[in-house]
Structure 1
Amino acid sequence: MEATVTRYHHGDLRAALVEASFGLIAECGLQRFSVAEVARRAGVSSAAPYRHFPDRAHLLGAVSAVAARDLRTEIEGAADDAGGDPKARLAAAAGAYVQCVGVTGAGMSVIFAAELYEIADDKRRDETRALMTTLLDLAWAATDAGTHADAVRLMEATLAIAHGYATLYREGFFAARDRALDEIADRAVEAAAALLD
């Protein structure tokens, strides 16, 4: 697959680097993520990113914040589209996760990358907290008056289903059957709904 290069033209270099980062993660995954490759894709020198980010982890932190924000927006939209049934709303979150991560590659493994724990980043922390609050609120509503611990376990199980389907999709597990992302997202919703029943 040919890499898509995002060319930077005297606009917002920081935003261009984050955008190029998403392209790299979508194509190559987190393990092959490098500042030099992001710079190449953005069409800038390998030194240019360091004007905004002191190192790889800080650039990845900015990507993590945007990924958490965008994922939360997609989950909220899917839950709203699912209607008023709390279990359907939580199951819809699994499908939204698969859709979003299937395209961007930036799921929980990017949002909660181990190398980010040492970095103080209020923006990333706030976006991540908002995402997890949204998921926990959906799970809490679906527990039928369960405990907080029940809601946490339900949220974890729903995320495990969603992340599992997204990972299998991104790693080509479904390629032999030529499954579309929409179909895989629907399967995640069905699996989450079965869990909730």
Structure 2
Amino acid sequence: MSAVRKYHHGDLRAALIEASFDLLAEAGLQRFSVAAVARRLGVSSAAPYRHFPDRDHLLSAISATAARDLRAAITAAADAAGPDPADRLAAVAGAYVRYVVRTGAGFHVIYAADLYKIPDDTRREQTRALMTTLLDLASATGSPSYEEDVLFVEATIAVAHGYASLFTDGFFARNGGTVDAIAVRAVQAARALLAPSPAGQ
């Protein structure tokens, strides 16, 4: 999370998206507004509307950027985890925690229901690519069906989002938990979900 930044000149559209991530990380989606982003950049409340007609269009652009960047972070984490497919999928949880704590843009932003009415091909392309990467990682574990892949992805993200939310809410502050330490715990929890079930269960 960065300090309040002032916009001077250049690409206002890109500056609005960048400042939006700072605001999401600090205030959350419920308190996110176009006016707050404008104040953060030190521009008039009307300036953002030259690029985005409303809050949802700005969030759609944020979703596209977040999906692209989270996918890159997930891919890098999976590659760093080594060849074991279960380790690679579990690594998603750590990448997710680090990204969401830094940007505030988790699945609740990337796949926000209100965005599906926005005709944004870039967002659709990036969110589809993110989900395809996740499902490919799940499929590589040898799961028996697409439905099982979806459940693996769902469980991994749910664990990661829970850890990220608890960290943001200060739950781990009393123990001095760092983002990296919590990310490691998220990976361990996700990996446990992928452990083979005992015979007969």
Whether the 8 Å CA contact 2:143–2:149 is kept in 1: the answer is no
Match of 2:121 in 1: 122
Matched residue, 1:173: 171
User: 1:49: Cα distance to partner?
Assistant: 0.2
When the two structures are aligned, how many residues end up with a matched partner?
195
Residue 199 of structure 2 is matched in structure 1 by none
CA deviation map 1:35-84 (0-9, x unaligned): 11101111211000000000000011111111111100000000000111
Structure 1 residue aligned with 2:186: 188
* Conserved? CA contact 2:94–2:187, under 8 Å: yes
Structure 2 vs 1, CA of residues 150 and 64 (structure 1 numbering), >3 Å: closer, same or farther? same
Match of 1:153 in 2: 151
In the alignment, the residues of structure 1 paired with residue 173 and residue 111 of structure 2 have an alpha-carbon distance, to the nearest angstrom, of: 27
The answer to whether the Cα contact below 8 Å between 1:139 and 1:151 also exists between their aligned partners in 2 is: yes
Partner of 2:39: 40
CA contact (8 A) 2:94 2:160 kept: yes
Counterpart of 1:112, as a letter, is Y
> 2:159, 2:190 within 8 Å by CA — same for their partners in 1?
yes
Match of 1:106 in 2: 105
TM-score with structure 2 setting the length: 0.94
CA distance in 2, matches of 1:19, 1:6: 10
Q: Distance in 2 between matches of 1:41 and 1:28?
A: 12
**Distance in 2 between the 1:82 and 1:38 partners?**
37
- Contact 1:71/1:100 (<8 A) preserved: yes
Residues 119-172 of structure 1: CA distance to partner in whole angstroms, max 9, x if unpaired?
111111111001101100001111x25111111111111111111111111111
> TM-score when scaled to structure 1?
0.96
Separation in structure 2 between the aligned mates of residue 25 and residue 4 of structure 1, nearest angstrom: 13
Structure 2: stretches of 5+ with no match in the other structure: 196-201
2:162 aligns to what? 164
Aligned-residue CA RMSD (Å): 1.3
Question: Structure 1 CA distance, aligned partners of 2:25 and 2:126?
Answer: 20
The 3-state SS of whatever aligns with 1:4 is: coil
Structure 1 runs of 4+ aligned residues shifted over 4 Å read none
Bigger drift between 111-120 and 82-91 goes to 111-120
- Aligned residue number for residue 92 of structure 2: 93
Q: Is the 8 A contact 1:5 1:40 kept in 2?
A: no
Does residue 27 in structure 1 map to residue 26 in structure 2? yes
